[in-house]
């Protein structure tokens, strides 16, 4: 489910990354219990036939390949191939750069300027989003601006990662952007600061006290953002709540559990089982139960941690699920960092809803099945263009 986030990942102008330990639904930042770090005395390369075959293939490549060879790229391909041999879509090898990009989005805060970029057909870089309150917004940069140079270096012909690297590697506390805005060429000096990626947004929908919160991903900062938005909605007279998890690919287990502990009654939030049948539970003490009518919007792209949220709400009867059946990712991965900055991610357990319902490759069926509009759902909540949101509002009006 991370694949469709790559535009966001590579587009973030990130600098010094701060990664905190935690558990992802999808990622765990420590090795699973019992894993010992040493070179194995038995395994694939201990077999002389396999080691000889690998050496022979390397010699064929070295002597016959037309173009230049980067030994580091060959090595990365070998490590990636080992993980690909598991035939598990969620287990993989990350190079150091890939691992940094992966954790940037999952953590939810980074050192940068607060913009999202895409590459345009001319080879320049379009700014598609400027985060509210970010250094870029304060400097005057707008969505729709085109970056033509960073610190005087043209970006044409570079990749998005290269452009991000120009900013990340300035060695200064600011970067100079050359911007094309229509016919104007402008220059902006933008501070490089700690930036929070907005993962949670919200607003009041009507005068009857219907509040709306959209969680785009359960990042490390999502619980704090959720709490601030909830406080604001309560000040505005919140009486009933819609939580939108459509297209939410998942994120940290710790984040989804922290938010659910402000919604659920006392009990199990979800539990996992590993290959040996060992069971681990996440629980809620029920002291901060929501106590308001609740609807949760889900769709076929609501995955992983989103399904933990949806499954718990459904099992406890805390709210009504509206939308379409969720993605069906019910397995947990552990990520093990290696000493060169690379990492491997490995599926280690399966998780289940409080009532013991299996999610993996099944998903969660909503209480009220409702299809989206022909063009999906709008970025800004609009019940006139969003049949699923409208249905949720109708259900809450009936309670």
If you search the block for the tokens 């939108």, which residue do you land on?
244
- Distance, in Å, from the CA atom of 170 to the CA atom of 151, rounded to the nearest integer, reads 8
Three-class DSSP category at 340: coil
* Sign of the dihedral through C-alpha 256, 262, 263, 265: positive
Pairing of strands 294-298, 240-244: parallel
Secondary element (H or E) of residue 344: strand 343-352
- Distance, in Å, from the CA atom of 311 to the CA atom of 305, rounded to the nearest integer, reads 10
Which tokens sit at 48? Answer: 């002389």
Q: Which of 106, 111, 304, 342 is catalytic?
A: 304
Q: Which of 302, 329, 342, 345 is catalytic?
A: 329
- Distance, in Å, from the CA atom of 133 to the CA atom of 141, rounded to the nearest integer, reads 12
Told to judge if 156 belongs to the known catalytic residues of this protein, a careful annotator would answer no
Confirm if 20 and 107 have CB atoms less than 8 A apart: yes
- Distance, in Å, from the CA atom of 357 to the CA atom of 264, rounded to the nearest integer, reads 17
Q: Cα–Cα distances in Å, from 78 out to 72, 97, 252?
A: 10, 17, 29
In 46-95, which residue ranges form alpha helices assigned H by DSSP? 48-64, 71-84
Q: Which of 306, 315, 334, 386 is catalytic?
A: 315
Told to judge if 41 belongs to the known catalytic residues of this protein, a careful annotator would answer no
- Distance, in Å, from the CA atom of 158 to the CA atom of 25, rounded to the nearest integer, reads 34
313-341 burial, b if ≥16 CB within 10 A, otherwise e?
Answer: bbbbebbbbbbbbbbbbbbbbbbbbeeee
Told to judge if 151 belongs to the known catalytic residues of this protein, a careful annotator would answer no
Measured CA angle at 326 (ends 325, 327), to 5 deg: 125
Three-class DSSP category at 177: strand
Catalytically active residues, by annotation = 304, 315, 329
């Amino acid at each position: 489910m991370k694949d469709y986030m790559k535009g966001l990942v590579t587009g973030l102008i990130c600098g010094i990354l701060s990664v905190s330990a935690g558990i992802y639904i999808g990622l765990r930042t420590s090795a699973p219990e019992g894993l010992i770090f040493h070179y194995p005395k038995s395994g694939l390369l201990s077999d002389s036939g396999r080691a000889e075959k690998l050496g022979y293939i390397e010699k064929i490549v070295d002597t016959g390949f037309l173009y230049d060879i980067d030994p580091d790229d060959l090595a990365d391909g070998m490590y990636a191939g080992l993980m690909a041999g598991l035939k598990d879509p969620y287990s993989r090898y990350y190079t150091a750069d890939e691992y940094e990009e992966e954790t940037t989005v999952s953590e939810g805060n980074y050192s940068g300027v607060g913009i999202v970029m895409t590459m345009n057909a001319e080879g320049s870089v379009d700014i598609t989003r400027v985060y509210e309150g970010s250094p870029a917004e304060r400097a005057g940069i707008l969505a729709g601006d085109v970056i033509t140079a960073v610190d005087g270096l043209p970006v044409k012909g570079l990749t998005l990662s290269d452009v991000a690297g120009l900013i990340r590697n300035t060695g200064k506390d600011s970067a100079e952007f050359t911007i094309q805005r229509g016919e104007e060429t402008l220059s902006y000096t933008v501070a490089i600061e700690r930036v929070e990626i907005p993962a949670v947004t919200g607003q009041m929908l009507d005068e009857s006290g219907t509040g709306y919160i959209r969680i785009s991903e359960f990042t490390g900062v999502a619980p704090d953002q959720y709490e601030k938005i909830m406080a604001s909605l309560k000040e505005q007279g919140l009486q009933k709540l819609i939580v939108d998890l459509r297209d939410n690919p998942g994120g940290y287990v710790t984040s989804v559990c922290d938010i659910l502990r402000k919604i659920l009654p006392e009990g199990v939030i979800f539990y996992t089982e590993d290959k040996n049948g060992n069971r681990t539970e996440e629980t809620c003490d029920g002291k901060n139960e929501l106590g308001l009518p609740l609807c949760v919007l889900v769709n076929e792209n609501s995955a992983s941690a989103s399904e933990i949220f949806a499954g718990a709400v459904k099992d406890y009867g805390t709210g009504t699920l509206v939308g379409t059946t969720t993605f069906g990712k019910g397995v947990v991965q552990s990520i093990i960092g290696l000493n060169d900055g690379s990492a491997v991610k490995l599926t280690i357990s399966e998780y289940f809803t409080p009532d013991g319902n299996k999610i993996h490759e099944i998903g969660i069926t909503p209480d009220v099945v409702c299809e989206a509009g022909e063009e999906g759902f709008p970025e800004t909540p609009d019940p006139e263009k969003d049949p699923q949101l409208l249905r949720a509002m109708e259900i809450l009006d009936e309670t």
